[in-house]
Amino acid sequence: METRKIKIMASYDWSMRYGMVEFVKFVDPVIRYKGKEYKIELGRVIAEPIICGQNLKETADFVVDRTVHWNAYYRCWAQQALHSQMSIANNPNSFYAHEKHSTYDLMARAIHPEDHFPITVLLPQFYPYTEDQERQEMWEYEQELIAQHTKFGFDEFRRKTDWQKIHEKLQRSVRLREQSKLVRELFYSKEQYLKDTVEKIFQNRFPLYLKKTSGGGGSDVFKINSLADLYEKYDATQGRSFHLQEAVENYDVFVRCMGLGPQILPMRFEPDKPLHEHYSPEKLVLPLNLHERMTNYVMLINSYFRWTYNSFESIIKDGKIHPIDFANACPDSHFTSLHVHFPWLLCAKLKWFAYCAVTGKNMKSDMEENAYLNVFNDPNKTQKEKFDFHVAMSKEYFEIDSFKEFCEENFKDLNEKMVQFYDTRFDDVIRYAIHFSDFPIEDHANFYRQYKERMDKVFRPNAKDYLSIRPGE
């Protein structure tokens, strides 16, 4: 029997790692594929010196990235892994290079005619430079330089300040400022573009959302209620780039989907609740037509960008899907966030990662953007034709039929195994998750009880439903 090594890169979501390891140990699957048998071995990618040109292929058969957006070593490691032609979920280069803006722009081109991508405008970066601000900044910089170039001695007369160096650096900074002023003069619009955008593109309708073009965590997202409000918030953007986006208010349901390969789980999302209660414990069942379109959007983003483990936020209002945030290729996978949905995540991960590792699925790291863009930019194609096209592309990328067959053969009873795992081992997962959570230590016992009760009362009697994407399927 051969072994397939799956390695998850470093991350702080200990409960997910612990849950995966314990579940795989419990199931101990023997995978059958094309007449051969395989064992799965889970592991970590260990940070150690690597030589350029070294082949990393022996390290693992499949790597799961949880790192490249926050750890420079692992980003380099993952790039070298791509050069070694290893299979990775998710493509480190596309995750590093493509942020919210790129995904928004793609969605605007690919949306189904019955849905609506909220109008979204990319604003020029702005940093206010009044004379007073400039003087203040220069003064602060000078103080820094004095501190940097001053040495103190045992005898106070031995204090030395290198005024020559300070002067040189200040002069260089003045010249650079003049150049960047020139760039602003030559390359930036001098129009009243905020006012114009609000008038011409948003027809003076508020609220709007001013949100940064990259990153996550809900920081730098502002609800804007008037032009004056917009001026105030835009003044504080400090040279970072932002979008202005139509708000979707009074909605029916806010949905966040978790995507693992072609397995897409929609969950009700409650952004106004505390962080650990963002995901509602409700088993969300969308009308079939919305469910299908939603699944197809998630698959479009995840196949186009090669992020097969990503989350996707959208708002449903008046029977239309409004996608709003889907560049999250390191999705929150803590038990404390996902609770009743967490067992589904463990099953979905095991199935998709095992499939990729055992079949040697080609993750196609050389993205096929033009195959998509030739269609999205074809003026003779209708929006419906564009939508149907990307649905077919996703189906091919995710090898839907072959994945289904693989799961039928190897994981038919996985949900029952999860229930047995729950009954015998899951208390430890909860305990472990609380131990590594951000909850204050004095509240741990209380949180353990709350989560345990929710799992026992909500998940366990309805395990079958929670472990399927749509109950009864």
Q: Which residues bind Mg ion (CB under 5 A)?
A: 313, 325
CA atoms within 13 A on the CB side of 401: 2
Between 6 and 327, CB nearer to ligand ATP: 327
Q: 245 pairs with which residues across the strands?
A: 120, 209
- 313, 254 in Cβ contact below 8 A? yes
Residue at shortest CB range from ligand ATP = 216
CB of 75 to Mg ion, least distance (A): 23
Site string for ligand ATP, 247-266 (x = CB under 6 A): xx------------------
CB of 204 to ligand ATP, least distance (A): 17
Between 245 and 359, CB nearer to Mg ion: 245
Burial of 99 (0-12, 13-18, 19+ CB in 10 A): middle
Quickly list H helices, 61-197: 72-83, 92-97, 100-110, 131-148, 163-187, 193-196
Assess 209 for contact with ligand ATP (CB under 6 A).
yes
Between 271 and 461, CB nearer to ligand ATP: 271
| 271 touches, from Mg ion, ligand ATP, none (C-beta below 5 to 8 Å by class) | ligand ATP
Site string for ligand ATP, 278-317 (x = CB under 6 A): -----------------------------------x----
Between 166 and 248, CB nearer to ligand ATP: 248
Nearest to 13 by CA among 355, 421, 438, 423: 438
Selected binder of ligand ATP within 325, 334, 421, 430 (CB under 6 A) = 325
CB of 105 to ligand ATP, least distance (A): 15
Q: 345 pairs with which residues across the strands?
A: none
Between 254 and 403, CB nearer to ligand ATP: 254
CB of 248 to ligand ATP, least distance (A): 4
Instruction: Say what angle helices 414-435 and 14-27 make with each other, to 10 degrees.
Output: 150
**Chain residues 364-423 in contact with ligand ATP, contact rule CB under 6 A:** none
| 217 touches, from Mg ion, ligand ATP, none (C-beta below 5 to 8 Å by class) | ligand ATP
- Give the tokens for residue 79: 């790039």
Nearest to 411 by CA among 362, 352, 463, 459: 352
Between 69 and 454, CB nearer to ligand ATP: 69
| 280 touches, from ligand ATP, Mg ion, none (C-beta below 5 to 8 Å by class) | none
Between 284 and 391, CB nearer to ligand ATP: 284
Which three-class secondary structure state does DSSP give residue 50?
coil
Quickly list H helices, 436-457: 444-454
Between 248 and 257, CB nearer to ligand ATP: 248
- Give the tokens for residue 2: 């051969």
- Give the tokens for residue 207: 């609220």
CB of 337 to ligand ATP, least distance (A): 11
**Chain residues 212-251 in contact with ligand ATP, contact rule CB under 6 A:** 216-218, 221, 245, 247-248
The number of residues that bind ligand ATP (CB under 6 A) is 14
Between 221 and 253, CB nearer to ligand ATP: 221
- Give the Cα separation of 68 and 429 in Å (integer): 26
- 424, 418 in Cβ contact below 8 A? no
What is the DSSP secondary-structure string of 133-149?
HHHHHHHHHHHHHHHHT
| 324 touches, from ligand ATP, Mg ion, none (C-beta below 5 to 8 Å by class) | ligand ATP
Token look-up 């209620």 returns 225
- 24, 42 in Cβ contact below 8 A? yes
CB of 191 to ligand ATP, least distance (A): 25
- Give the Cα separation of 118 and 315 in Å (integer): 10
Instruction: Say what angle helices 342-359 and 400-410 make with each other, to 10 degrees.
Output: 110
**Chain residues 100-129 in contact with ligand ATP, contact rule CB under 6 A:** 118
Is the bond preceding 90 in cis, omega lying within 30 degrees of 0? yes
Question: Footprint of ligand ATP on this chain (CB under 6 A)?
Answer: 118, 209, 211, 216-218, 221, 245, 247-248, 271, 313, 324-325
